[in-house]
Every structure is written in C-alpha cells, then in structure tokens.
C-alpha cells in the first residue's frame, strides 16, 4: 500500500480544489467535483483521502493465542474487529497463516454485525457470490448459526485459489468454494436464505489505500461497472428465498453503482429495503437505501452497503441433477475424531469432512459447479496408507490427536517458506505449531523431515 506524497503544506490548500491535484497521483477531477458538491460527503471526505489509512484485523473466535503485536480500539460495528496502532508485516506473522486473525478493512466488517442482527433459519444456506479474497466470507462464517452453510463463489480463477486458501486457514467445514460465473446460480431458484453480492466496482472508496484505483477510474468505467453490476443482480435476484435477504455492497461512492442498482431490484424483482443495525458513523444514503462509510466520516475506507428482503418468490426449483456417481462414505485413521453430526465423503482417493447440511447442499450443486474446496479435505488414501491433508491440520471442526511440536518464530517462518531445519519430534506425521496454534504438517522420517506446507501457499520473501 502507498500513501501519496504532498507538495506543500496541506492546510494552505484546505479550501482550494487545486490541492487535490498537487498529489503525485491526484484524485480524478470529475470525482472531486462530484464529492465536493455532495451534501452527503463534501470537503472533509476529499481531504481524508490524503490521510493515512487505518489498519484493522478481525479475530477468529474459534482460534485464540497471544498475538505478537498490540491490539488497539475495537471496531465499533464488529466486536471481533480491532484497529492496530502499527501495521505489522502480516506475511511474516505465523499466526496470520494459522488463521488466528484476518487483516480486513474496517467498514467491510459491518457484514458481520448486520448478519448477526438477522432472524435466519436454524440451518440457513448463504451465498457469497463475489467472494475473493475471503474477508466477508470468513465474517459470514462467524455470523451464521452453527448449522448454517456458506457457498463462497469467485469468478476469477486466481482469486478463487486465494479465496479457498483463506477459508481453509479459517478452519470451518460448513463451506463450499465454487469457481463459476454467477449465471450458473440462476438455475437454482429460491435456494438461498441470504445472498451477499459484494460487486466488482470502480473502487472510489479505495482511493486512499490504492493509488492504482485513481489512475484506472473514469466516467466510462463507472458506467461499465454499473452495467456489469446490474447483470449480476439480475442473475441472482431469484436465487433468494421468499422472506430471505439480499445484501449488496461496493467499495465505491456513486449512485449509478449503488442506489440505482438497489432501485432496480426493488422495482423489478420483488425486494424491499430493510433497516440496518446501528452502524457507528455510517451515513444513510440520500434515498435511505443503504449506508455509506467513507474516510473523514468513519474510521475506514469507503463502502456502500444495503440490505433487502425478498417479498415473494416461487417455490424452489426442483432440478434433477445430472447422472453423477453416488457419494461414498469413508473411514478414518484413529487420530481423527469427528462430530457425530458431521459426515464423511470419499471422492476418488480423497476424504472430505462436511456437516450434514453442507453435504445436502453439495449434493444439490455438484453437477453444475466446479468446486475449489468442499468442506474440509482430511486426506488421501495412498499405497502406504492415509496421508493427512494440510486443511485437516488447520480445522476447527474435529479433534486431531497427532503429535505436535512447537516451533520458534524463526523456525515457524522457515516452515512457511518451505524450508527444513533441525527438528526433534516423533516419527511419522506431526503437526507443527507456533504459540500452540497449528501451522500445518511435516512427516518426520527420523534423520530428516518432509515439509508438507502447500507449495502454492509458501512465503516467497526472505525469512531470516
């Protein structure tokens, strides 16, 4: 992340529009003109785009340990969120890789508070339609009832890999990660109790943190984003059950990509706007359709968020799946103990752990989607027996009785880098930990060990 350099003292340009053009990467002039005239935003927001962005993280309530840095004040709209007084190097922190916390922009944490305030069924089915990199997905997992199921989808293949990695580190098994265009979901009418659309947008709310967003912005791009967003919501509108919810968000600050999209849903797809819980320092939109966070108003970047309720919908479509092989059950080695209410699925030689509700959703969707993650991958049956998977070591949904060995900070970083080092441990598969938090697996051969940390997840920067 970069902070723009200022030529001259900011105070002398406080009421001069040219101040905003003296930065190394200036704010786009049409954006400046619109925001400066806005009764909602105005001069304070423009000036705040040149201030330092706060750093915040959201804690994983199912994993806990002592952090290597100090937590600051809580994020007002998320009791799991904290601001940090200084920004650590997250890449070099083993606890980030262990899923102890997730670095997340503070306004985005409002998803957690909003979903916690909803009256959902005991076993809701939820779709995060544009889910990468996973911040809102992991917040949803914490906000849902214990028997809920999350389908986290991402259209871009590379971003979907990142999404699956971040969700795996979080440790839940009640989640499916799909790689699909959103139109594939339109076949599944009235399936979801809640759909979150964090839509791709022009990124105006990120102008403080991401200077590239400034250079890529244009009025034409705003128009193209709005057209794409409209197509996305049209495809997903009827996937929401009657009395279910659609939550729409962007990190931009214009009506074309926000209120006008919401107005289309209300007028054409049988939705009504819902009140939101108190969101400290968020501003209601001029049409009272959702709320805005923005620098200079809230301690966050820019975000628009709105909640809608589906007034009516037909009964769910009872689609016949393609002819697929039956799902097989599996057996496990003694060192894996699962909850009696969870199920095991074997596909090829791989064994997955899913809650029964997740398994039901998977059976309904598996003929139409490419899955990048299915519950928790426990391991694979090989010639010499069962080989546990990395996801298994990070899971919070089971009891793992494999031997454990604690690593120093340096050795933990070396492990995450893919290195080997002297290690005293029992022979066989061993869980390596840092501050008693699982990082992953090694296989100790006696005179050496194999580092089983996934190659695609490894730290690439120098660690010593």
Under 8 Å between Cβ of 191 and 206:
no
Q: What is the DSSP string of 222-240?
A: HHHHHHHHHHHHHHHGGGE
Q: What is the bridge-based pairing of β-strands 404-406 and 398-400?
A: unpaired
Q: Which of 225, 251, 274, 306 is catalytic?
A: 251
3-state secondary structure of 389: coil
Residue 53 C-alpha from the chain's centroid: 20
- 8 A C-beta contact, residue 387 and residue 380: yes
Report how far residue 464's alpha carbon sits from residue 68's, in angstroms, rounded to the nearest whole number: 17
Question: Which residue's structure tokens are 């080989």?
Answer: 387
Q: Which of 28, 23, 18, 27 is CA-nearest to residue 5?
A: 23
Asked about 251 being catalytic, the answer comes back as: yes
Can you read off the two tokens belonging to residue 392?
Answer: 């298994």
Joined together, the tokens standing for residue 228 give 């794409």
Q: State how far Cα 340 lies from the chain centre.
A: 28
Residue 50 main-chain phi, psi, to 5 deg: -105, 15
Contact 257, 250 (CB under 8 A): yes
Choose among 177, 182, 169: nearest CA to 149. 177
- The secondary structure of residue 286, as a DSSP letter, is T
Residues in the chain: 464
Where is 371: in which H helix or E strand?
Answer: strand 370-374
Distance CA 366, CA 359 (A): 10
Residues with Cβ < 8 Å from 22, sequence gap 6 or more? 6, 7, 8, 13
Nearest to 65 by CA among 99, 103, 33: 99
Rg (C-alpha) for the chain, rounded Å, is 23
Q: Are 217 and 28 in contact (CB under 8 A)?
A: yes
* 321 CA to centre of own chain: 29
| DSSP H helical ranges for 49-109 | 94-97
- Report residue 17 as tokens: 């529009």
Residue numbers annotated as active site: 251
């Amino acid at each position: 992340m970069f902070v723009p350099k200022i030529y001259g003292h900011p105070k002398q340009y406080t009421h001069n529009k040219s101040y905003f053009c003296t930065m190394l990467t200036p704010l786009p002039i049409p954006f400046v003109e619109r925001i400066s005239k806005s009764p909602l935003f105005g001069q304070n927001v423009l000036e705040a785009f040149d201030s330092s962005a706060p750093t915040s993280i959201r804690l994983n309530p199912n994993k806990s340990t002592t952090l290597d840095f100090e937590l600051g004040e809580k994020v007002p709209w998320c009791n799991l969120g904290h601001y940090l007084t200084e920004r650590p190097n997250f890449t070099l922190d083993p606890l980030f890789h262990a899923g102890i916390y997730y670095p997340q922009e503070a306004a985005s944490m409002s998803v957690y508070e909003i979903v916690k305030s909803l009256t959902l069924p005991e076993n809701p089915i939820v779709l995060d339609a544009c889910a990468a990199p996973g911040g809102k997905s992991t917040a949803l997992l914490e906000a849902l009832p214990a028997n809920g199921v999350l389908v986290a989808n991402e259209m871009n293949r590379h971003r979907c890999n990142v999404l699956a990695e971040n969700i795996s580190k979080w440790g839940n098994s009640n989640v499916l990660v799909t790689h699909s265009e959103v139109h594939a979901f339109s076949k599944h009418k009235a399936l979801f109790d809640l759909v979150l659309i964090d839509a791709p947008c022009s990124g105006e709310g990120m102008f403080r943190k991401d200077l590239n967003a400034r250079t890529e912005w244009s009025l034409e791009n705003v128009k193209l984003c709005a057209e794409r967003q409209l197509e996305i919501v049209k495809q997903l509108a009827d996937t929401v059950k009657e009395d279910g919810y659609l939550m729409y968000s962007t990190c931009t600050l214009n009506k074309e990509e926000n209120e006008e999209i919401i107005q289309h849903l209300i007028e054409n797809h049988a939705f009504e706007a819902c009140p939101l819980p108190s969101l400290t320092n968020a501003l209601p939109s001029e049409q009272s359709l959702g709320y805005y966070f923005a620098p200079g108003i809230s301690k966050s970047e820019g975000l628009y968020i709105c909640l809608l309720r589906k007034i009516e919908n037909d009964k769910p479509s009872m689609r016949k799946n393609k002819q697929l092989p039956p799902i097989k059950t599996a057996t496990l080695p003694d060192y894996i103990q699962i909850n009696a209410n969870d199920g095991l699925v074997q596909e090829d030689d791989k064994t997955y752990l899913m809650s029964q509700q997740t398994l039901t959703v998977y059976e309904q969707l598996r003929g139409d989607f490419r899955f990048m993650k299915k519950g928790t991958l426990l391991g694979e049956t090989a010639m010499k027996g069962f080989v546990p998977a990395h996801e298994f070591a990070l899971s919070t949904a089971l009891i793992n009785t494999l031997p454990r060995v604690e690593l120093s900070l340096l050795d933990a970083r070396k492990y995450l880098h893919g290195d080997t080092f002297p290690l005293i441990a029992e022979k066989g598969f061993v869980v390596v930990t840092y501050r008693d938090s699982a990082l992953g697996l090694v296989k100790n051969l006696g005179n050496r060990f194999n580092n089983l940390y996934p190659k695609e997840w490894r730290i690439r920067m120098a660690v010593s």
